[in-house]
Amino acid sequence: MEESKQHSRMVDALLLLLTIAPLALAIVLKVLFTPDAPLEDGVSISGALVYFTIPMPLQAWPITEAQINSWAVILSILGLCLYLTHGIKVVPDSKRQLAAEWIVDTVSHLVTSNMGEKFIDFAPFVAGILGLSALSSLSSLLGLFAPTSDLNIVLGWAILVFILITHYKLKGGLWEYIKGFFSPIPLFAPLNIIGEFATPISMSFRHYGNVMSGMVISTLIAYALRSLSKMLLGWLPGALGTIPFLQIGLPAVLSLYFDIFSGCMQAFIFAMLTMMFVSTAEPEEE
C-alpha cells in the first residue's frame, strides 16, 4: 500500500514537472536570445523574437518566440490535465479531482446552454480553446511574449474554427451550401461570399487587436511615467534620482486589466463566437 502511494506521488511530481518545465524553458530561451538593450533612453515595441530559421524550397521558415511559447502553453495544459485526472475515483476524495469535475461541468453547461444538448461532444474543443487562449495571454505575466499577440497564431485558431463551420454547413449537402450564397437574391452572392470568408478574419483580428493593443498601451504608459518621473524627481540626490517612482502602482493596475481581465475576456468571447457560428451553421432538421 505504501509502495503504491509512493509511486502515485512520483507520477504526480513528474506531471507537475511537465506542467512547469515548458514555460520555464520558454523563459530560458527568451533570456538567451533577447539582445542587449540599447544604451540610449527610449521606448521599443517589437514583435516576437526569431530564434532560428529552417530552409524551405520557397522561403525560409522562421521559428519565432510566439510559436515556441504557444507549444509551451499547450504542453503545460497537457501536463495540468494529466495531473488533475491522475488517480481519479468514482467518489471524489481529492481537491484536484473536484477541480477537474468543476471544469468539466462548467464547460459542458456552457456548451449545452449556447449550442444545445446535441453539441455536448463539442465541450472538449471549447475547453481547449478557452484554456489555450487564456493561458497564452496570461503567459505575459511571466515576461514571455504572449502568443495571442501574434496574428499568425490567432488566425490559425480562426481558420480551424472556419473549417468546422464549413463542415457543419456541408451536412445539408454541397448544393444547399452553394445555393445559400445566392440567398435571398442572386445579386447578394458577392457579399455573401465575402461575408463567409470574413468570419475567420474578423475573429482573429478582434482577439489579436485587443491583446496587442493592451500590450502597446501598457508599454507606452510605463515609458511615459518613467520619463515624467525622471523629469520631476531627477533632482533627488544620488540613486534616488534614477528611481522611477511614478511607475510604481499604475503599471501593475494596468497589468491586472490588460493581461488578466482582458486576456480572459477575449478567450471567452472567442469561445462564444466559435459556439455561435458552429451551432448556427448546421442545417435545421425538417
Q: Where are the domains of the chain?
A: 1-35+42-91, 114-286
The answer to whether 179 and 238 have CB atoms below 8 angstroms apart is no
Taking the C-alpha atoms of residue 9 and residue 120, their distance in angstroms, rounded to an integer, is 34
What would the grid cell of residue 152 be? 499568425
CB atoms within 10 A of CB 152: 14
Q: Give me the chain's average pLDDT, please.
A: 83
Residue at grid coordinates 538567451:
32
Per residue in 166-216, pLDDT (tens digit) is 988 888 788 888 888 887 788 888 888 888 888 889 999 888 888 877 777
What would the grid cell of residue 70 be? 504557444
The answer to whether 165 and 171 have CB atoms below 8 angstroms apart is no
The answer to whether 261 and 143 have CB atoms below 8 angstroms apart is no
Per residue in 61-78, pLDDT (tens digit) is 888 999 999 999 999 999
**Which residues have a Cβ under 8 Å from the Cβ of 162 and sit 6 or more positions away?**
197, 199, 200
pLDDT of residue 43: 53
CB atoms within 10 A of CB 17: 13
Q: Which of 110, 104, 105, 106 is nearest to 279 (CA)?
A: 110
Q: For a pLDDT cut of 90, what percent of the chain falls above it? A: 30
Lowest mean pLDDT among 133-137, 223-227, 241-245: 241-245
pLDDT of residue 9: 84
Question: Is the pLDDT at 267 greater than 80, yes or no?
Answer: yes
Query: Helix 262-281 to helix 95-115 angle, to the nearest 10 degrees?
Result: 50
61-64 and 50-54: which strand pairing? antiparallel
Read off the pTM. 0.84
Residue at grid coordinates 528611481:
243
Q: Give me the sign of the Cα torsion angle 165, 166, 169, 170.
A: negative
What would the grid cell of residue 21 be? 518545465
Side-chain-facing half-sphere of 154: CA atoms under 13 Å: 30
pLDDT of residue 249: 64
Alpha helices, DSSP H only, in the chain?
2-33, 65-85, 95-115, 123-138, 151-169, 174-179, 189-233, 250-255, 262-281
Residue type, 19: T
Taking the C-alpha atoms of residue 50 and residue 64, their distance in angstroms, rounded to an integer, is 4
Average pLDDT over residues 102-128: 92
pLDDT of residue 243: 65
Largest distance between two CA atoms of the chain: 81
What would the grid cell of residue 235 be? 533632482
Per residue in 17-50, pLDDT (tens digit) is 999 999 999 999 988 887 765 544 555 556 788 8
Taking the C-alpha atoms of residue 260 and residue 69, their distance in angstroms, rounded to an integer, is 17
